[in-house]
Amino acid sequence: MKQHNYHGALQQPLHSGFNAASTAADVMKGIDLTGKIVIITGGYAGIGLETTRILAAAGATVIVPARDVEKAAANVGGIAHIEVAKMDLMDPQSVDLFASTFIASGRPLHRLINNAGIMWVPFRKDDRGYESQLATNHLGHFQLTARLWPALKKANGARVINVSSFGHQIAPFNFDDPNFESRTYETLQGYGQSKTANNLFTVELDKRGSSSHVRAYSLHPGSVNGTDLGREAPMALFQQMGTHDTNGNIYPEVAAKLKTVPQGAATTVWCATSPMLDHIGGVYCEDVDVAVIDNGDIVHHYDEPWTLKGVRPYSLDEANAQRLWRLSEAMTNIVFDAV
């Protein structure tokens, strides 16, 4: 039995019984998480908030690290079994402080859901000089996972879920210039490579961590209506994709095809809880199942969200995954053995 998903070795649908219309609540039927500890970055808005709500309702204690603690506390108010703590993925010291506080509590960590992300933002850098989408979507989560590794091992059966995107298809990872120091900044390229990084991180993390009973998964939640992920994106991008009219309004026929937030959270919840994944990891999932490989033979139309599917081979490549791991260690100044 293959113990890795290099080159998509395990990348084939499992016939989960769910589909694109399934909701997080559908997926959770019959699953009890009493006694489980879950950390969800970005777990106070959009599909992250729905993920928090569903897992907490199943009995899990859910810890929500947030840059804006007051906003997070207000958003999760009324949900039982929730803890809110301060953390900013763009601030390495903040990540270390959050993780060290959790480790000091002595608790195991059964699920780490790296859900927070930014998309299509203007060119910004963190204090280290790293492009913000790469810093937030990948490097911050790489650091967080590394710092929480002792607690993940302690759970003796943990899962790490990296919320990626179909956006990985926009761009492979640019190892020569990941921070746009010698090329013109294109926000779509920055977003695309950060999501490719999520997939490559997942493949390598699962390969390294499976012997410690830590499995990893990445996923595309789908095209979801009602989130603020693209709040900073220029309207011209959406118009270019054919989803919005000249006045900046989404076409009603496109909106009708988008997933609801409960549907958008379904694949995250499935990756976090499904018994079907007990003996498989490193895979990229979508529509509540393992996704198919896209070798360039799937036709995609942004105004037909159901066509936005498949995972590109470059984001499952062994050499790319190992190279990204080494680069991430160097950029974060962390040695992450993951064993």
Which is it for strands 158-163 and 289-290: parallel, antiparallel or unpaired? unpaired
User: Where is 267: in which H helix or E strand?
Assistant: helix 266-273
- With CA atoms as reference, report the closest residue to 33 among 85, 111, 102, 99: 111
- With CA atoms as reference, report the closest residue to 261 among 72, 53, 121: 53
Task: Yes or no: say if 54 and 265 are a contact pair by the CB < 8 Å rule.
Answer: yes
User: How far, rounded to the nearest angstrom, does the alpha carbon of residue 200 sit from its chain's CA centroid?
Assistant: 12
Query: First CA to last CA across the chain, in angstroms?
Result: 20
| Neighbour-count burial for 201-213, b at 16+ CB within 10 Å, e otherwise | bbbbbbbbbbebe
Reduced to 3 states (helix: H, G, I; strand: E, B; else coil), residue 7 is: helix
The CA distance from 73 to 102, in Å, is: 18
The CA distance from 140 to 310, in Å, is: 26
To which residue do tokens 């859900």 refer?
Answer: 115
Return the amino acid letter for 215. Answer: R
Set 191, 217, 284, 314: catalytic member: 191
185 is catalytic: no
What separation in angstroms does the CA of 190 have from each of 120, 123, 214, 311, 319? 8, 9, 29, 18, 21
What is the total residue count of the chain?
339
Structure tokens at 339: 């064993």
Quickly count: other Cβ atoms within 10 Å of residue 176's Cβ.
Answer: 8
Task: Yes or no: say if 114 and 145 are a contact pair by the CB < 8 Å rule.
Answer: yes
Q: Give me the active site residues, please.
A: 191
